[in-house]
Amino acid sequence: MMESVYQQSALRSNLFVVWNELIKNMKFLMAYPIIFVFWAVFPIFWFIPFIFQGQAFVGGLQSASFGQITGTEEFIPFIVIGSVLNSYVNTLLYGMGESIRREALQGTLDYVLVAPTNKVYVLIGKALSESLSSTMFAASQLAISALLFGMNLTLGVMLPVFLIVILLILGLYGLSLVLAAFSLLYKQSHDVSETIGYVFYVFSPVRYPLESLPFWAQIFGKIIPLTYALIIVRSIMLLGASLSSLYFEVLALLAIDAVLIFAGFYMFNWMENKAKKSGAISHY
């Protein structure tokens, strides 16, 4: 009788772990409604200065030289898309690390780790819930921005955008796994995720076109998944490009995703073993 508990199909039991982790994290989020509202609305305030700056510098809402570099003279939608996509980086990278830190602080991390399941599925559950909430936040920010500044959010545009967002999330999953691996051993994992956040912010075209960076920095920017996501989404939403015409960027994003996810799985399993051996887990 006892054995049958564990003899469910591996896939089913793993999905069960993912599902429960997802539900648990969504409940955490719902327990703090103010935080929820904050992330859904407030990040808009962070890019408002860039809109005023644009107006002050060019005296209107269109800039010819901006158009020469980016293909669109309208800098507001450019900034909005940058902010919304960048918010995924914030929530996913910090969210995963925070989620693990929270378990460690509550003392539940040890129990999660001794449970007879592959921890990667727990992390996938965490990541799913983070991406679900991030998407809710992003959608809300985008909708408010569209109301304020007028942007094309038709289904034909949003479907390919959604696909790219999923690809972006996958790459960030991989990176989060690497971070999670770090956080098992290195206590200030927060430092690592924050530093990565800085690198993304500077080397990806979040607030300015990639071409504004010096040449070497552009090359560096091209190994960051966010860079491709931003280029593709802006091309679709602002220049009316089709997904097929952007095949190079899509393939590059896929390749980076694959590398990051593989590295993430590998590192996490490796670090988990190491952490168990050295007993570093509870020392927060």
Query: Which residues in this chain contact other proteins in the complex, by CB under 8 A?
Result: 27, 30-35, 38, 42, 45-46, 48-50, 52-59, 63-66, 68-70, 75, 79, 188, 190-192, 194-195, 198, 201-202, 206-209, 211-213
Quick one: 21 or 257, whose CB is closer to other proteins? Answer: 21
Q: Which of 229, 75, 71, 86 is nearest to 149 (CA)?
A: 75
Residue 65 beta carbon to other proteins: minimum distance, rounded to whole angstroms: 3
Residue 57 beta carbon to other proteins: minimum distance, rounded to whole angstroms: 5
How far apart (Å, rounded) are the C-alpha atoms in residues 284 and 280? 9
C-beta separation of 169 from 131 below 8 A:
yes
Quick one: 119 or 190, whose CB is closer to other proteins? Answer: 190
Residue 203 beta carbon to other proteins: minimum distance, rounded to whole angstroms: 10
Quick one: 70 or 87, whose CB is closer to other proteins? Answer: 70
Quick one: 27 or 274, whose CB is closer to other proteins? Answer: 27
DSSP H stretches of helix in the chain: 2-6, 10-30, 33-41, 43-58, 64-70, 75-89, 95-106, 109-114, 119-149, 155-185, 189-203, 215-221, 225-239, 247-278
How far apart (Å, rounded) are the C-alpha atoms in residues 54 and 74? 10
Q: Strand, coil or helix: what is 62?
A: strand
Q: Is 232 left (phi over 0), alpha (psi -120 to 50) or beta?
A: alpha
Quick one: 57 or 266, whose CB is closer to other proteins? Answer: 57
